[in-house]
Amino acid sequence: MDCEDSRGPLIQHILDATRISDGVFVTLKLIKKSRHPYEIEIGQLFSSEPVASDPANHCVPIYDVLHVPNDEDQAIIVMPLLRPFTNPRFDTCGEVVECFHQLFAGLQFIHKQHVAHRDCMALNIMMDATSLFIDPYHPQDIVMRRDYKGEARCLTRTQSPPKYFFIDFGISRRYDANNFAPLESPIWGGDKSVPEFQNSDEPRNPFPTDVYYLGNMIRYKFLLTNNGFEFMEPLVNDMIQDDPAKRPTMDEVVPRFDQILKQISSWKLRSRVIGKEDGHITGLYLGVTHWTRRIGYIIRRVPAIPTP
């Protein structure tokens, strides 16, 4: 049936809800404490002051923790309603650059709190697209309007810049501030390509693995699927080196990225993101609509790198 309440949850332990006090759409996630003993603790760390209000904090906030009656092993965390960070598609190079900037700063911030995410791959990066959409979107069928009366209309990220978030701290760990090189047995996240985990159970420092995850995400989601991001290749190649000891730390990645940005022209930043699989008709349509917006941005002096 094509109606609003005919779509069940895509993931059984995650539901959408509406906060009664203000009508805000939220997400509910059921946590099994014995399986993920640190998820709530680490999530609350990034949701408590002064950490919560730090501009570099890009961890999904926890609004509340609900306890399940007669079951001490389970709890429900309340979070904002987010959507995959690549949907809708990026329009300009500058929009992608801002995404990189937020994610680099966000992972650097996580590491500064002595936390290793340990699964910061594509599926665990999302965005708050509330202001991006003209029509509220359906939480289970994100292409559609919430009332299921057509597709949800949206703006571009230049018109309404979103904020990006790291989610899912289920296998994350926090370490003592004096432990600069903690060792953990390999644990598989969503990205199964981690070089140091292949054919080895040797304990590893999880922080360089985080760097690999983020670099590999950029490689697959942007460098291999779009044209025009060659300027990121040297940094990304360093982030995904087979030897974890040769990868830069996030404290090194951030200033290197800042230097890269200084070399990119405004014209390049305003250029359209061209997918390698875009057909001629799709490319023509996207090109015409892009240039119409682009001329308007230039006239109105809208920043080439849109920030929320």
Over residues 105-118, mean pLDDT: 98
Tell me what the pLDDT averaged over the chain comes to. Answer: 93
pLDDT at residue number 20? 94
pLDDT beyond 70 at 18 = yes
- The answer to whether position 8 is within a domain reads no
pLDDT at residue number 298? 87
- What confidence category does residue 200 fall into, taking pLDDT thresholds of 50, 70 and 90? confident
- What confidence category does residue 286 fall into, taking pLDDT thresholds of 50, 70 and 90? confident
Q: How many CA atoms lie within 13 A of 140 on its CB side?
A: 17
- The answer to whether position 163 is within a domain reads yes
Dist. CA 186–CA 216, nearest whole Å: 18
Domain limits for position 214: 82-268
- The answer to whether position 64 is within a domain reads no
The proportion of the chain whose per-residue pLDDT surpasses 70, expressed as a percent, equals 95
pLDDT beyond 90 at 12 = no
pLDDT at residue number 39? 97
Dist. CA 16–CA 1, nearest whole Å: 19
Four-residue CA torsion sign, 170, 176, 180, 183: negative
pLDDT beyond 80 at 278 = no
CATH for 213: 1.10.510.10
Instruction: Encode pLDDT of 42-95 as tens digits.
Output: 999 999 999 999 999 999 999 999 999 999 999 999 999 999 999 999 999 999
- The answer to whether position 307 is within a domain reads no
Q: What is the pTM of this model?
A: 0.93
pLDDT at residue number 97? 98
- The answer to whether position 277 is within a domain reads no
Q: First CA to last CA across the chain, in angstroms?
A: 37
CA dist list (Å): 187 to 23, 33, 110, 112, 198: 39, 18, 19, 22, 11
Over residues 186-207, mean pLDDT: 93
Over residues 141-169, mean pLDDT: 94
pLDDT at residue number 41? 97
- The answer to whether position 18 is within a domain reads no
- The answer to whether position 40 is within a domain reads no
Contacts of 190 (CB under 8 A, 6+ apart): 119, 121, 122, 123, 124
Could you tell me if 303 and 98 are in contact, meaning their C-beta atoms sit under 8 angstroms apart?
no
Instruction: Encode pLDDT of 216-225 as tens digits.
Output: 999 999 999 9
- What confidence category does residue 13 fall into, taking pLDDT thresholds of 50, 70 and 90? confident
Provide the number of structural domains found in the chain.
1
Over residues 217-234, mean pLDDT: 97
- The answer to whether position 25 is within a domain reads no
pLDDT at residue number 1? 47
- What confidence category does residue 7 fall into, taking pLDDT thresholds of 50, 70 and 90? low
The proportion of the chain whose per-residue pLDDT surpasses 90, expressed as a percent, equals 81
Q: How many CA atoms lie within 13 A of 220 on its CB side?
A: 11
